[in-house]
């Protein structure tokens, strides 16, 4: 298994074989039937460019009331179960961790991006975050535990997995841009990023 370390971020290129990626997309389509993608707004009311949903015991929500984890989709339905393929990746790569309680599903259209942020709404920051990329390539920027300073970027491809733990767990990171239509995995193009987290 190939592994690249950049600023403490563990990157596993081509971790998921193509067939597994397709099976995962099918499982996600089923999740999104139960819990459709929504376009969140920031607490200040600005629409984000990424569409979001979730699976697991909790989903991460952003709206005028703030950022938080919720046990239900805004429609009132419980979030669907986390697909087994993802639970298996978690067990393989972070066996020491507790079970994931949230799989955030982010969908990026061609022009979507995500500003530099920390993942810090979870109660136990000793637990890792694991991300899976599907579809079009994305330029992932990794920084420091405080805002600003030097950064390094890497193109994340379909099937790549990133683990944030230890010092990297609280590092700033973001997505600068997507390379439109360079993957055939998603029929309508775009990119899906899945992040597994322990919330409580
Ligand atoms: C993305 N990822 O890849 C955004 N967060 O679209 C994240 O924000 C992220 O990749 C925590 C851990 C890994 C990640
Ligand atoms: Fe993040």
- Cβ-in-10-Å burial (0-12, 13-18, 19+) of 75 comes to exposed
Secondary element (H or E) of residue 87: helix 84-93
pLDDT in tens, 9-36: 999 999 999 999 999 999 999 999 999 9
Question: Mean pLDDT across the stretch 42-49?
Answer: 94
For the Cβ of 136 lying below 6 angstroms from any atom of ligand 1, the answer is no
For the Cβ of 194 lying below 6 angstroms from any atom of ligand 1, the answer is no
* Per-residue model confidence (pLDDT) at position 42: 93
Q: Whose CA is nearest to atom 1 of ligand 1?
A: 193
* Per-residue model confidence (pLDDT) at position 51: 97
pLDDT in tens, 127-177: 999 999 999 999 999 999 999 999 999 999 999 999 999 989 999 999 999
Q: How far apart are the first and last CA of the chain?
A: 31
Percent of the chain with pLDDT over 70: 100
* Per-residue model confidence (pLDDT) at position 1: 83
For the Cβ of 158 lying below 6 angstroms from any atom of ligand 1, the answer is no
**Closest to 110 (Cα-Cα) out of 135, 127, 132:** 135
* Residue 188 predicted with pLDDT over 90: no
pLDDT bin (cut points 50, 70, 90) of residue 75 is very high
Q: Whose CA is nearest to atom 7 of ligand 1?
A: 174
For the Cβ of 127 lying below 6 angstroms from any atom of ligand 1, the answer is no
Alpha carbons 160 and 140: distance in angstroms, whole number: 12
Break the chain into its structural domains and give their ranges. 4-197
When the pLDDT of each residue in the chain is averaged and rounded to a whole number, the result is 96
For the Cβ of 131 lying below 6 angstroms from any atom of ligand 1, the answer is yes
Secondary element (H or E) of residue 53: strand 51-56
For the Cβ of 171 lying below 6 angstroms from any atom of ligand 1, the answer is no
Which long-range contacts does 65-71 make (Cβ < 8 Å, 24+ apart)? Answer: 67/43, 67/121, 68/121, 69/102, 69/121, 69/122, 69/199
- Coil vs helix vs strand at 54: strand
* Per-residue model confidence (pLDDT) at position 78: 98
Sign of CA dihedral 148, 154, 159, 163: negative
For the Cβ of 114 lying below 6 angstroms from any atom of ligand 1, the answer is yes
Alpha carbons 145 and 2: distance in angstroms, whole number: 26
Number of neighbours of residue 176 by Cβ within 10 angstroms: 14
Residue ranges with CB less than 5 Å from ion ligand 2: 119
* Per-residue model confidence (pLDDT) at position 182: 93
Atom of ligand 1 nearest to the CA of 140: 3
Ligand nearest to the CA of 140: 1
Alpha carbons 94 and 90: distance in angstroms, whole number: 6
Number of neighbours of residue 16 by Cβ within 10 angstroms: 21
> CATH topology for 4-197?
Jelly Rolls (2.60.120)
* Residue 49 predicted with pLDDT over 90: yes
Alpha carbons 69 and 112: distance in angstroms, whole number: 23
Task: Report residue 184: phi and psi, to 5°.
Answer: -100, 5
Alpha carbons 138 and 181: distance in angstroms, whole number: 11
């Amino acid at each position: 298994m190939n592994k690249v370390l950049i600023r403490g971020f563990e990157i596993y290129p081509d971790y998921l074989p193509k067939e597994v990626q397709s099976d995962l997309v099918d499982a996600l389509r089923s999740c999104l039937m139960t819990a459709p993608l929504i376009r969140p707004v920031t607490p200040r009311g600005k629409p984000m460019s990424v569409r979001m949903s979730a699976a697991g015991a909790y989903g991460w929500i952003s709206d005028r009331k703030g950022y938080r984890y919720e046990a239900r989709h805004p429609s009132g339905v419980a979030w669907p179960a986390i697909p087994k393929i993802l639970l298996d990746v978690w067990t393989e790569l972070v066996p020491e961790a507790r079970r994931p309680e949230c799989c955030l599903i982010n969908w990026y259209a061609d022009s979507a991006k995500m500003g530099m942020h920390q993942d810090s709404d979870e109660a136990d920051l000793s637990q890792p975050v694991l991300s899976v990329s599907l579809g079009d390539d994305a330029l992932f920027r990794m920084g420091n535990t405080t805002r600003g300073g030097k950064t390094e970027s890497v193109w994340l491809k379909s099937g790549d997995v990133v683990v944030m733990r230890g010092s990297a767990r609280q590092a700033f990171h973001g997505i600068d841009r997507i390379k439109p239509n360079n993957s055939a995995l998603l029929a309508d193009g775009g990119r899906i990023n899945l992040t597994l987290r322990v919330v409580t």
